[in-house]
Chain A
């Protein structure tokens, strides 16, 4: 089954404690991206990657890092989380033939 997986699905952490949210897709897509979703603000792009070792900033990259060492994986790293990063995070991969985004199930992060 074609899918995007994210882990963990829920995470409560404290300010300053480094964390990584993993994302993996099995569709061999080159394009992957991370979004955060906050009430009233829609989906805002954090980082995207157009291929292995090619990443670029989206609209709200501050406080985040990403890496793309393999085509299937695109982890999101918060080196020093802060409460304003409390949000719902979605990873997505894109089918280039249809420009369709396939989203993971989401990770709800709370930073205390």
Chain B
């Protein structure tokens, strides 16, 4: 089976940088995605890593190390609106190619 571990909650202050880690155990690893979900809303796609290294999209970056089965989401210049839940999700080959999600990390940004 597959398993993903991420912290349940992270807090930070406005303007700071925060890193949300995700470790996974799976066979046939294909890629790691990150999604954001505000309270009561639908998850929305943030980033995707299939290869080792850093992918940058504006204030958000995502990193993957396939050899360590580890990735993280980096949020810079935090804003109050970044308070949300963040999910990592693994895609695996040889199966459905539909992601399996972690339990999510609640990010609380304080003024």
Answer whether A and B are interacting partners: yes
Contact residues in A for B89 (Cβ distance below 8 Å): 43, 101
- Whether B98 pairs with A94 at a CB distance below 8 angstroms is yes
Closest to A40 in B: B103
- Whether A100 pairs with B98 at a CB distance below 8 angstroms is no
Shortest B37–chain A CB gap in Å is: 9
Contact of B100 among A45, A102, A105, A106 (CB under 8 A): A45
Contact of A106 among B31, B35, B42, B97 (CB under 8 A): B42
Contact count band on B: 20 to 34
- Whether A41 pairs with B103 at a CB distance below 8 angstroms is yes
Kindly state whether residue A1 has any CB partner on chain B within 8 Å: no
Known: A41-B103, A42-B103. A48 touches B44 (CB 8 A): no
- Whether B48 pairs with A100 at a CB distance below 8 angstroms is yes
Q: Which DSSP category, helix, strand, loop or mixed, fits chain A's interface?
A: strand
Number of interface residues of A (CB under 8 A): 26
CA A96 – CA B43 in complex, angstroms? Answer: 18
A and B contact pairs by CB, cutoff 8 A, 16 listed? A31-B98, A33-B96, A33-B98, A41-B103, A43-B89, A45-B100, A90-B42, A98-B48, A99-B33, A99-B97, A99-B99, A101-B43, A101-B98, A102-B45, A105-B42, A106-B40
